[in-house]
Amino acid sequence: PLKELEPLLPSERFMRVHRQCIVHVAHVAELAHVGGGVYVALLRGREKQEPVPVSRAVAAALRARLGLTQQPA
């Protein structure tokens, strides 16, 4: 389970963005607001982009870690 893996990962590089997902922050290319309070992260270096769900509670913290100051429209 992720709750056992999460403490083993360096928090300066990894972030839990959803109850089912942990991402390496440096690999996040974009944080997108897809409407209705739903956010997804798109990862760098992937030919086929599979959106990673981001919880509303974590979206602002991820945006700050990525250096994005503006709230997506």
Tokens found for residue 34: 């897809």
If one compares 71 and 7, the residue with the highest pLDDT of the two is: 7
Does residue 7 carry a pLDDT above 90?
A: yes
pLDDT for 44 equals: 87
Give 47's Cβ-side CA count (13 Å radius).
0
CB 42 within 8 A of CB 49: yes
pLDDT for 70 equals: 63
Q: Pick the range with the lowest mean pLDDT from 33-42, 49-58, 61-70.
A: 61-70
Alpha helix (H) ranges present in the chain?
2-5, 56-65
CB 12 within 8 A of CB 49: no
If one compares 31 and 70, the residue with the highest pLDDT of the two is: 31
d(CA 58, CA 66): 12
